[in-house]
Amino acid sequence: MNNNKLLEQQQSPIVVVGSGPVGTRILRDILRAQPDAAVAIYGDESWEPYDRSKLVSLLSGDLAWADLPNLSPLPDRHNAVLNYGNRIETIDRENRAVVDWKGNRQPYSKLVLAIGSNPWLPDIPGVWLPNVHAFRNVGDVRELLDNGYPGRRVVVLGGGLLGVELACGLQRKGEKACLVVSSRLLGRQLDHRAGELLVEHLQALGIEVVFGRATEIAGGRNADGETVAQAVLTFDQRQIDCDCVVLATGVNPTIDLAVKSGLATGRGIKVDDYLRTSDPLIYAAGECAEHRGRVYSLIGPGFEQADVVAQNVLGARVKYHGSAITTQLKGADIAAFSCFQEELDDAAPIRSLSYQSDDQSRYRALRLSRGRLTGVVGIGDWPEGWRIREAVRQGRRLMPWQCRRFLATGNPWSENAAASVLQWPPHATVCNCMGISRGLLDLALQQGHTSVAALQTHTKAGTGCGSCVHFLAELAGQAPTPQAVAGARPLTAASLLALALALCALLLSVPALPPLDTSLGGWHWQNLWLQNGWKQASGYSLLALSCVALLLSLRKRRSFGPLSYAGWRVVHVVGGTLALVLLAAHTGLGLGHNLDRILALDFLALALLGGAAGGLVALEGSSPTPLLRRLRGAGYWGHVLLFWPLPVLLAFHILSTYYF
C-alpha cells in the first residue's frame, strides 16, 4: 500500500473519497472494467477497508480480529494509489483537485464522494458521558470490548436493524442486553405482527425489550469518582439501570465536505439520475447521496449506486432509477427480512395478505397495489424468499389463484417452480448483503472460481449474513445436505398404517362381507353395524373424530397445546387411521348406495391421499427431489379438495337416517 502518496500522471486520475464498502466497491468495479485505469482512493480511517456488517460478530466474539473481511484486495496489476488514514479537507472545484488534511493536493479528472454517514446522537442529557458509546467503526468495537465483562448490563437505544443485532451480539457475548425502543421494533422494515413475533423471540433469548422514548441518560459517580451513565429514563418515568449505554439511533449523511465546496445539498448530497452532483465532474454514492429526495441508509442500494457510478466515470451514460429497500436481520438466530419498492402511489389502494404457519415459526406478509407486488415481510425460514424479493423489485402482478395459494401455503407459486438457483435469471440477486447477482457469480465461475470459498473471496458473496452460502454451493456443484423432517419416524409409521387400512377397506368392500348366521343368538361382530346402539356409538364417534381432524386441518394461524406443528401433524394422521377403524365398525365395509356410497368412497379416498401425502412428507427430508415435491403437493391438494364435500355428505347422511 502506498499511503499518503499522490498519483502524478499527465492525465489526472479518477479520485474516490471514502474507503468504506461503497467506495471500495467503486474502485474494484472501475479496475474490473478497465484494469489500467488511474485511480486514487482516500479514507478517513487508518485501518484498511473492512466489512462493517461484521462488526457485531466481532463484538460478540463470533469473529476473530484476524478474520474481519478485508475489502481492499485488488488485481495483481493495477494503477491505483490507496491513501488510508488521510482525510480530504476541501475540494478545489475550479482547479479540479482535492486537498488533504496535510495540505497536499491531488488533481482529478472525475471525483466520486462515497463519504457515508455519521451516527445520529439523540439530543438528551447524558449522551456525552464516558460509558455511552456510538457504534459505527472498529474503534467503537475496541472500546466496548476493552470495557466489557460478563454480566455487564447494557442498554441499547434504538429499535432498528443495528439495535436488534447489537442486543443479540451483546447477549451472546455474555452481557445482559436491554433494548429500548421508542415505538415498534424494526418499524421501517416489519409490520405489526412480524414485530410482535420478533419481540417474543428476543425475550426468549433473554433480551429485555422496553417500549418508550428515552428522555435522559442519568449519571452517577462510580468507585473512581468519575461521573458515568447509570440509568436510562423514559418519558413515562421508567428507570432502567445499566452499566453502559450503546446508541443505535440512526445516522446522518456526511455532507460537510460538499457544503464547503458549494455543492447542492439537502439531507444528503443531491444527485441526478446519473448520480452526478451539481458539478458534472463530481459524483456521489452511498449513504451520503440524495437521489430524488431520498437517502438510502442501507448497503444494498449503495452497491447498486456504486455499480452505476463506476460505469459513468469511465464514460458510459447509465441511469440509476432507485432501489428496492431490502433488509435482512443478521445474528439474531431467526430469519427476518423485508423488501419494499422505493416509491408507492399513495392514491392507489393497498391490499395486504398474510400467512402464519401452524407452529408460528414462519410469518409472511405481502403488500399489493393494483394487483402488483410492492412489498414483502418474512419471519422464519423462507427458501423461496429470493423469488418474492425479485418479484417486488420488478413490481410483478399476482393472479387471484396465486393470492389464494399464498394464504393457504405461504408461497404464491408452487414449491418446485424455479426452486434451484441454477434456474434463476442472471439479474436475480443471490447475495442481498453484498448485492451480488447470479450473473456476476456466473462470470466468476467462468473465470475459474469454482468453489464456495473461491466465490466468497472473489465476489464477497456469502460473507455477510451467510444465508446464501447454500446457493453458492449449488452453483459450485456441491450438493446441499438434506434436512430430516421433524417427527419423520412416527409420521411414516402412521401414514403407512393409514394407507394400508384404506387399501384393505377398498379391497374387502368389493364385494361386501357376507352376512353371518345370527339365528343361534349371542354376540357377533356384525352387531357393530347391525344393532342400532352399537351403530350409533360408532357413527357419533366417527363424526367427532372427523370434526377434530377438520379443526387440526384449519389451524393455519393458531398454535395450541404442548405439541409442535410436527407433533400435531402426527396426531392428525393417527386420528385419520382411527377414523378408518370406526368406519369399518360402522359400515361393516359395505359402501351402501347413492349418497352413502359417495360418502364412503370420499372418506376412503381422503384417507388414501392423506396417508400418501404424509409418507411423502417424511420421505422428502431424506431425498428432496423435484418429483417427490410434485407428488407430495398433488397428494396434499387432493386431500384438501376431498375434505370439502365431507361435511355436506355427512349432514345428508345424518338427516336421511333420522328423517326416514
Could you write out the DSSP letters of every residue in 324-347? -EEEE--SSSS-EEEEE-S---TT
Helix H segments across 362-520?
Answer: 385-394, 400-409, 438-446, 452-459, 469-475, 488-508
Residues 509 and 616 in one domain: yes
Q: Residue 157: pLDDT above 90?
A: yes
* CATH at residue 438: 1.10.10.1100
Please report whether residue 565 resides in a domain. yes
Whether 517 is in a domain gets the answer yes
- Give residue 2's pLDDT: 44
Looking at residue 565, its pLDDT comes to 60
Residue 107 lies in a domain: yes
* 639 and 543 part of one domain: yes
CATH of the domain at 112: 3.50.50.60
Inform me whether the pLDDT recorded for 141 exceeds 70: yes
The pLDDT of residue 363: 95
- pLDDT of 610 > 80? The answer is no
SS3 content of the chain, % helix, strand, coil (to 5): 40, 20, 40
In the prediction, which pLDDT does 516 show?
A: 46
pLDDT for residue 604 is more than 90: no
CATH of the domain at 513: 1.20.1420
pLDDT tens digits, 48-106: 888 888 899 899 988 888 887 776 666 666 788 989 999 999 999 999 999 999 999 99
pLDDT at 345: 46
Q: Do 628 and 522 fall into the same domain?
A: yes
More confident residue, 194 or 491: 194
Shared domain for 87 and 151, answered yes or no, is: no
Query: Residue 178 CB: number of other CB atoms within 10 A?
Result: 21
What integer pLDDT is reported at residue 611 of this predicted model?
75
Residues spanned by the domain of 26 = 14-118+252-313
Q: Into how many domains does the chain fold?
A: 4
Q: Are residues 184 and 245 in the same domain?
A: yes
Q: CA end-to-end span of the chain, whole Å?
A: 96
Q: Of the candidates 249, 273, 291, which is a domain's last residue?
A: 249
* Domain membership flag for residue 603: yes
191 or 332, greater pLDDT: 191
Residue 531 belongs to a domain? yes
Question: Which of 204-208, 235-239, 333-337 is predicted with the least confidence, judged by mean pLDDT?
Answer: 333-337
Average pLDDT score, the chain: 81
Residue 279 shares a structural domain with residue 182: no
* Residue 224 forms part of a structural domain: yes
- For helices 626-643 and 645-659, the axis angle rounded to 10 degrees is 30
Q: Kindly give the residue spans of alpha helices, DSSP state H, lying in 509-562.
A: 527-530, 532-554
Strand order in the sheet with 294-295: 269-271, 289-291, 294-295
Is 169 part of any domain? yes
Residues 154 and 268 in one domain: no
Asked if 514 and 593 sit in the same domain, the reply is: yes
Rounded Cα distance, 236 and 335, in Å: 32
User: Do 506 and 608 sit in the same domain of this protein?
Assistant: yes
One domain for residues 156 and 238: yes
Q: pLDDT tens digit string along 249-278?
A: 999 999 999 999 999 999 999 999 999 999
Write down the pTM of the prediction: 0.68
In this structure, is residue 627 part of a structural domain?
yes
* Same domain, residue pair 638 and 495: yes
Please check whether residues 201 and 67 belong to one and the same domain: no
